[in-house]
Structure 1
Amino acid sequence: MKWHHVQDNWSAFYEAIQNRWPDAEEDRLDEIDGDQRAFISYIAELTGQDPAEARDEIRDWLTGELPSDVVMDPLHDNHSILLSEKFVPEGEDEYDDDSRFGDNE
């Protein structure tokens, strides 16, 4: 995932952040409000690392999955639906044939 996923859905990542860094406090996360530099500084302070090491640890954490709260967000879902319209040929009614999905009725 990219940082903009985290920044745009900051509060949805609280649980994932606290799973990775159990000492992270929700009040401090509220203050950070998705600011990447502030988050790096906070993780460096929390773990006793220098900022470069904390940034690398956060980069590693970003390779994980998006939390389900973010994936199921209507904005994310609607964006995915809009992107999928390129696979429906012009003039085709997407509701006509569901045989590809195991529903022939």
Structure 2
Amino acid sequence: MKWHHVQDNWPAFYEAIQDKWPEVDEAELDEIDGDQRAFIAYLAEVTEQDAAEIRDELREWLAGEIPSDIVMDPIHDNHSIKLSSKYVNEGEDEFNDDARFGDDGDDEDDD
């Protein structure tokens, strides 16, 4: 992913940020508002690491995939589905309807 994905969806990334850097405070993230330089400076302060180390960690973190619940886009969603194929049994299609596994609207309480 690119930093603009994070910046454009800043609050949606709070959970992922807090998973990676548990020391961060949500109120501080609100103040940073997606500013990469401010974020690096803040992480360096709270983790007591050098800014260069934080930049390396951030670069590594950004090398991962955008969490599927962040961006709602057919191209991104289809890419995520294809990546999930490693968890689908052989002979099954990862794009198949999974209605038999969950609530797909045929709940009698929906009436």
For the aligned pair, the TM-score class normalised by the smaller chain equals 0.5 to 0.7
Percent identity (aligned): 71
Question: How far 1:64 sits from its partner (Å)?
Answer: 1.6
Secondary structure at 1:17 match in 2: helix
CA contact (8 A) 1:40 1:55 kept: yes
Matches within 5 A, 1:1-105: 1-72=1-72, 77=73, 80=75
* Structure 2 unmatched runs, 5+: 77-94, 97-111
* Structure 1 unmatched runs, 5+: 82-100
Deviations 1:16-70 (A, max 9, x none): 0000011111000000000000000011111111111111111111112212222
Cα RMSD (Å) = 1.9
CA distance in 1, matches of 2:71, 2:17: 16
Secondary structure at 1:71 match in 2: coil
TM-score, normalisation: structure 2: 0.64
CA distance in 1, matches of 2:54, 2:41: 8
The letter for the 2-side match of 1:42 is Y
**What's the counterpart of residue 106 of structure 2?**
none
The letter for the 2-side match of 1:11 is P
